[in-house]
Amino acid sequence: MAHHFRAALEAIELDVLQMDGVDGEFQNVMKPGVGGRVRKRMEQRFAGRDCADWLERLHAAGVPSGPVGT
């Protein structure tokens, strides 16, 4: 899972692993108080493009992905 998460971050050009509390460790994303901040940053990034564009980028990077919701 960490491999795909890192590949997805690279594909969407977002480095949340360097956020305070994550400190470069994927497992820290699961810590209370950290995961919500990471999710918010990712949601903001995904809001910047349409679904088709993100899926194209993620699939090109070999990240298993598909649309969820609207």
Residue range 5-42, pLDDT digits in tens: 889 999 999 999 999 999 999 899 999 999 999 999 99
The CB density around residue 36, as the number of other CB atoms within 10 Å, is 9
What secondary structure letter does DSSP report for 28? G
**What's the confidence (pLDDT) of residue 13?**
93
The pTM score is 0.80
Q: Sorting pLDDT into bands at 50, 70 and 90, what band is 2?
A: confident
Cα–Cα separations (whole angstroms), residue 33 to 6, 30, 56, 57, 60: 20, 9, 31, 29, 32
